[in-house]
């Protein structure tokens, strides 16, 4: 009886040893895999044809670059004309509260987290009819950034390939990016939603909603 009791009170190391053994085994396998010389090593890799923003490493510099391509089943000229008139943009851009245009200069009121808004002033830097539209923030702009929309005929009569690229200097740097993602005001999230809304508006004449009544939040 006493022997049995004593035996039971002895610490049992078998489980710990098993875990340790498995752990060591995993480390050993990991080491072999990590240091294994690949069968086919490549010493030089030329640049590929993919857009830079799809690269595995971030390009150098403060600016974050985001972009997205979307095919819209409408003629290039129609899309370009609509987009060139900046007063149309708040129709599908929920992050733009208002826009004022004075020649090449546009003043934007952009929605920011916690119900605030930020001012952005841009100057047109390129305007090639039915092909490209680009802008960059001015010296006095609160938000810094640049954008470019490229319009190309899509293959096989599919309409227009629209490529939007935005570079911006996030306020507060990396933390600003995180805050933006948290409140879904991050330009990548906003941008892709706005491109989808633009496509909906151009293709169907309306923007899809699951809301069932106008006062619904």
Partner 1 sequence: MRALTWHGKHDVRMDTVPDPEIMNPRDAIIEVTSTAICGSDLHLFDGVIPGMMPGDVLGHEFMGRVVEVGPGSTLKKGQRVVVPFVISCGKCFFCERQQFSACDNSNPAEKQDLSEPLYGHAMTGLFGYSHLTGGYPGGQAEYVRVPFSDVGPIVVPDGLDDDQVLFLSDILPTGWMAAKNADIEPGDTVAVWGCGPVGLFAIQSALLQGAGKVIAIDEYPGRLALAKGLGAEVIDFTQTRVREALMEMSGGFGPDAVIDAVGMESHGWAPDAIMDNIKQMVGIGADSAHALRQAILAVRKGGRVSIPGVYGGYLDKFPLGALMEKGLQIRTGQTHVQKYLGELLHRIGEGQIDTTFLISHRLPLEDAVRGYQNFRYNQNEWTKVVLKPGTEVRA
Would you tell me which residues interact with partner 1 (CB under 8 A)? 71, 73, 158-159, 189, 192-194, 196-197, 199-200, 203-214, 216
Q: What are phi and psi of 209, to 5 degrees?
A: -145, 150
Residue 98 Cβ vs partner 1, minimum distance, rounded to whole Å? 20
CB of 75 to partner 1, least distance (A): 13
Rounded to the nearest 10 degrees, what angle do helices 187-204 and 76-84 cross at? Answer: 120
Judged by beta carbon, residue 71 or residue 125, the one nearer partner 1 is 71
Provide, rounded to whole angstroms, the least separation between the CB of residue 44 and partner 1.
Answer: 32
Cβ distance to partner 1 smaller for residue 17 or 77:
77
With CA atoms as reference, report the closest residue to 138 among 106, 110, 160, 161.
Answer: 106
DSSP letters spanning 107-158:
EEEEE-GGG-EEEEEEEEEEEETTTEEEEEE-TT-SSEEEEEEEEEEPGGG-
The residues with which 158 forms a beta bridge, in sequence order, are none
Cβ-based nearer residue to partner 1, 123 or 196: 196
Tell me whether residue 95 or residue 167 sits nearer to partner 1 (CB atom): 95
Minimum CB separation of residue 70 from partner 1 in Å reads 9
């Amino acid at each position: 009886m006493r022997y049995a009791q004593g035996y039971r009170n002895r610490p049992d190391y078998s489980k710990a040893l098993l875990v340790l053994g498995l752990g060591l085994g995993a480390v050993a396998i990991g080491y072999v895999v990590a240091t294994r010389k690949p069968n086919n090593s490549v010493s030089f890799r030329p640049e590929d044809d993919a857009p830079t923003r799809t690269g595995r490493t971030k390009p150098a510099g403060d600016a974050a670059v985001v972009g997205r391509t979307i095919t819209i089943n409408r003629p290039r000229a129609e899309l370009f004309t609509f987009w060139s008139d900046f007063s149309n943009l708040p129709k599908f851009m929920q992050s733009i509260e208002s826009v004022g245009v004075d020649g090449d200069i546009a003043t934007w009121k952009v929605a920011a987290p916690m119900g605030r808004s930020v001012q952005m002033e841009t100057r047109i830097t390129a305007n090639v009819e039915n092909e490209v539209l680009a802008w960059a923030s001015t010296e006095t702009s609160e938000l810094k950034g640049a954008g470019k929309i490229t319009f190309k005929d899509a293959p096989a009569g599919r309409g227009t390939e629209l490529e939007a690229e935005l570079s911006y200097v996030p306020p507060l740097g990396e933390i600003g990016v995180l805050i933006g993602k948290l409140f879904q005001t991050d330009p990548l999230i906003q941008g892709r939603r706005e491109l989808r809304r633009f496509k909906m508006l151009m293709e169907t004449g309306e923007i899809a909603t699951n809301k069932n009544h106008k006062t619904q939040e």
